[in-house]
Amino acid sequence: MSLPSLGTVLVASALLLVLRFVFRKQSPLSRLPLPPGPSPLPVVGNIKDVPTSHEWITYAEWAKTYGDVMHISVLGKSLVLLSSLEAARDLLDKKSAVTSDRPRFTMISDLMGWDWAVQFMGMGPRFRRSRKALHQLLHPQAARDFYGAIRKGTRSLLRDILHDPAHFDHHLRHHSGGMMMSILYGEDEGPVRDQYVVKAEEAVSGLVEAGNVGKFLVDFIPLLKYVPEWMPGAGFQTQARIWRQMARDMIEIPYKNLQAAYDRGIAPPSVTTQLINQELQQSRDGSKDTEFIMGITGVLYVGGADTALSALITFMLAMVLNPEKQKRAQAEIDAVVGHDRLPDFDDRSALPYMEHIFSEVLRWYPGVPLGVPHRCMEDIEYKGYRIPEGATILVNQWAILHDEQHYDNPFDFNPDRFVPQEGASAPLDPREASFGYGRRICPGRHFADDLLWLMLVNILAAFDISKPVNADGKVVEPSGTFISGLVTALNRSCAGLRRGMQTSPAFWSLLNDDVLY
């Protein structure tokens, strides 16, 4: 946790607590107890208990003692931690009218300048406008409009892996981001798109780090945002300033380039072009809301590229550690698709085991293990406890997807758990816990599902995935260690790829063909 000077913390904490006490409103539910949790200390609460790394694992351990609804406080702020699907649905779906707000992310929104991102917006007109635009772009039927770009990007990914398999992890990152840049700005592969991807990766890396609730004390003491950058302990201000510029570069540079092309009448078809047209059509004076357009495209990049990359790397690790599952999926693909073409969306219904592998990838290590926090807008009662107004609500998606009530041996990668069994109920579909709840459910979930499925099935159709080998020819055991952050992923290469010997020369000629689909 980034700590300012002790005096600053104590003064700010005392002032904050006094103000809250003075202006506190009494609720009819105020006599109800708060949910259980670790015992807080006076004034500072559970500040020493809040983990700053891999929080979902700590919270899952706490749930074994305190139950699936827990409460902790930090400097007078309440955090409610949910560790079961039942609690998440009860509080965030059924009571979405009062639990769909977002807490104010002081570090992310105020200091880093991500207030344009709908993921972090509070309820209100801006949020509703943004959600409406995203739904129009990403509802299931509209998502099909992106199939061509997904096919082309997937083919390009396979070609790069074929020619340089040793750096497959770089190719996965490059193409997951590049594919989104092509969809958002119509920019084909090349140095300009590469520049966009680099800028976006820099910005998102800062967001992922700052997204850890508990990472920065300013999120619990908003008054600290006024501490000058030169003060001892105010290093978070310097970091926020750097990350803020990265975020602006990510959304401004591609937009300005496309706008210049639009003004000359040569803008390629893209999401941004579509949004500019819509803004101009709806405007009475020919103006447009540039911040709105940049915000929507920035949101789509963050929601598409980084989470997709996390799932891709998890898939690679799973295939390395479970070669028999890999071979079974490849045999299914060969039987349905053959050796002379690549799998396509129309093949999906005929590849059930591939579908089970995809579901298990989403379950085994979810890319956003704690989701994005909600904020409770008024006191509510739940199972005899009070969920206090203003509380930040976190859903431990990782805990839900490793709950033995839903899955036997949940830490094992086992796609067979999704194979239908006569007389047995189907296990929980991981998508029900992975894409959010209530009015905050991810609007891009259908697009993400399509994009990931095509990339996974094509990688398996084209390559054998095995453990990496070092310069001495010795097999390197993958660590399986995931980085901590709002979005998590493996922290280093976990696999080696080689050309699949079962495929025909005609198959490989497809990847070297300039005509992509």
Cα atoms in the Cβ-side hemisphere of radius 13 Å centred on 65:
9
DSSP assignment of 294-315: HHHHHHHHIIIIIHHHHHHHHH
Crossing angle (nearest 10°) for helices 125-138 and 290-301: 60
Task: Please tell me whether 442 is known to bind a ligand.
Answer: yes
Rg of the Cα atoms in the chain: 24
CA separation for the pair 213, 220 (Å, rounded): 9
**347, two tokens:** 């093949």
CA separation for the pair 361, 352 (Å, rounded): 14
CA separation for the pair 353, 357 (Å, rounded): 6
Q: Residue 381: how many CB atoms within 10 A of its CB?
A: 12
Which residues are registered as beta bridge partners of 431? none
Query: In sequence order, which residues have a C-beta less than 8 Å from that of residue 171 and are 6 or more positions away?
Result: 157, 160, 161, 164
CA separation for the pair 137, 210 (Å, rounded): 28
CA separation for the pair 109, 229 (Å, rounded): 17
Which residues are registered as beta bridge partners of 70? 81
Nearest to 47 by CA among 17, 67, 69: 17
**170, two tokens:** 């770089």
The answer to whether the CB of 147 falls within 8 A of the CB of 184 is no
Q: Residue 118: how many CB atoms within 10 A of its CB?
A: 23
Which residues are registered as beta bridge partners of 490? 482
Q: Which amino acid is present at 40?
A: P
Nearest to 223 by CA among 15, 375, 24: 15
Cα atoms in the Cβ-side hemisphere of radius 13 Å centred on 491:
7
Nearest to 295 by CA among 446, 121, 449: 121
DSSP assignment of 67-102: -SEEEEEETTEEEEEE-SHHHHIIIIITTHHHH-B-
What CA–CA distances, in Å, run from 307 to 5, 107, 208, 443? 36, 21, 11, 14
Looking at 140-283, list the stretches that DSSP marks H as alpha helix, in order from N- to C-terminal side. Answer: 140-143, 147-163, 168-185, 191-210, 235-263, 271-282
Buried b (16+ CB within 10 A) or exposed e, 272-283: bbebbeebeeee
Enumerate the known binding-site residues for heme. Answer: 442
Enumerate the known binding-site residues. Answer: 442
